[in-house]
Amino acid sequence: MTPPVTGKSPERREQADRPLLLASGSPRRRELLAALAVPFEVAAGVAFQELTERENQALSPSEFVWRNALGKALAAARHFPRRTLLAADTIVSLGARIFGKPSGPAEAAATLAALGGQTHLVQTAVVLISASGRIEGGIERTRVTFRPLNSAAIQRYLAAVDVSDKAGSYAIQQHGDWLVSKIEGSFSNVIGFPLERVAALLARH
């Protein structure tokens, strides 16, 4: 009997059957991606030296976040060739100033003081590299307006939330109502993974 024609070689079928690789160590991104019910694995053991806001001399916030997300994706692709993978990077910016993860409690307090009473931008760059090497992605932007914050409000928040690994020194999902008065755009983007954009990107693959 002649075998059915599938239109794909055995190698391409094997690639299609392998789950998506998430090039991120963030537990928040893992939880959000799991909410989409997409089978995935975490790309472990991939080293990539991100550009920090302190090292950045010329890139705009949008260029900065895209550079880091693309770098993560390419580093993972070198370690895991012929796999479809997803990478992301999130930053908080106020004008041209980028707020990364705080170096300690003093910097975290200074960041929240700078953001208090202001509207800042949360940007997440998402990059997908297909098994064939095609690169696709984009940047999700959400405007977040903080309440005016005095020293007592800042210290109350920092006592309740560990912000050591949080860009902008806050986590919207943890007592975010203490800080935020308004959000314009994707809520999941502020957590660090814009589900709407990610779902649309994966639907094409």
pLDDT tens figures, 28-46: 899 999 999 989 999 877 8
CATH class for domain 10-203? alpha beta
**Any idea what the Cα angle at residue 71 is, between residues 70 and 77, rounded to 5°?**
90
Q: In whole angstroms, what is the distance from residue 4 CA to residue 179 CA?
A: 60
Measure the CA–CA gap between 70 and 50, rounded to whole angstroms.
Answer: 10
**Residue 17: pLDDT band by 50, 70, 90 thresholds?**
low
- The pLDDT value recorded for residue 87 is 96
Please state the rounded mean pLDDT for residues 167-177: 95
Whether the pLDDT of residue 98 is over 90: the answer is yes
Tell me, what's the pLDDT at 48?
A: 78
User: For residues 162 and 102, what is the distance between their CA atoms, to the nearest angstrom?
Assistant: 11
Statement: residue 10 has pLDDT above 50? no
Burial of 38 per CB tally in 10 Å (0-12, 13-18, 19+): middle
**Average pLDDT of the chain, as a whole number:** 90
Q: With bands split at pLDDT 50, 70 and 90, how would you rate the model's confidence at 2?
A: very low
Catalytic entry in 89, 162, 165, 177: 89
For the question of residue 165 being annotated catalytic, the response is no
